[in-house]
A = this chain, B = another copy of it.
Amino acid sequence: MSSNISEKKTGAAGSQPNHKRPALVPQRSVGRERVAMLLAAASKVIEERGFDAATMAEIASRSDTKIGSLYRFFPNKEVLADALMQRFTELRDTQCDAIDARAREVSTDELADLLVNSLAEIHDEAKALVALLDARSEWSGKRIEYREKSIRRIVGTLLLRAPTLPEETAKDMAVVILNNMKTMVAMTFDKSAPTTPGSTAELRLMNRLYLASKLAGHELPAVQAGASPLGDAKGRS
């Protein structure tokens, strides 16, 4: 019952299925566009319905594509999920790079905000990402990988800011911060259980308090305090 991905039914006539074939990389621009539309649609459908309930048929029809074409590019649902994860990975890396670039300049509070907001800033995409990450059982390798890489990136950022922080501590912190990022997404985009704008401010505040507390004593000397949009971080001083 806890079967692997390629254990399922096969449909149609005999022959050997192409289960393990990776996503087709489109050669022409028209193909690239098609793939982009497919991924966008997949993201939206998965966001709305969750990975399980998302059907290949709906993904195809929402992207004005026919089911046959969808399978040309993504030979199965898992590959599609992987492709999405990869896109998320790239988006995340871009954002992490951006954060790292500013990690030493900004105030601790700002850094906290940058981190906690980063996932939610991918907006559309983030919800689907969370849906994917939370798909229970059978985490495809890609999904575990994403999680670990994310933690590593956050660790990297933290160490950039506070080089003397023990790596183990940084990792534990990263886990917490990653969860805050997911929580921010949930709060920001959940239509069925809308949260007050105040609660996102509270989340940000908590994240600031936590980061400030943990980094105290480890921070680099030459940090110039930037203005933080939340106002001066109450609760410490």
Is A231's beta carbon under 8 Å from chain B?
A: no
CB 8 Å contact bits of A136-158 with B (1 = contact, 0 = none) = 11111001100100000000000
Q: Contact at B53–A136, with CB atoms within 8 Å?
A: yes
Q: Contact at A144–B193, with CB atoms within 8 Å?
A: yes
A173 to B2, CA, bound (A): 25
Number of copies: 4
A214 to B76, CA, bound (A): 49
| Chain A contact surface mostly | helix
A222 to B203, CA, bound (A): 29
29 A-B residue pairs with CB within 8 Å: A1-B50, A1-B131, A2-B136, A3-B135, A3-B136, A4-B50, A5-B6, A5-B138, A6-B53, A7-B51, A8-B53, A8-B55, A14-B53, A15-B55, A16-B138, A48-B136, A131-B136, A144-B192, A168-B198, A169-B198, A172-B198, A172-B199, A172-B201, A172-B202, A175-B199, A175-B203, A176-B203, A212-B235, A213-B236
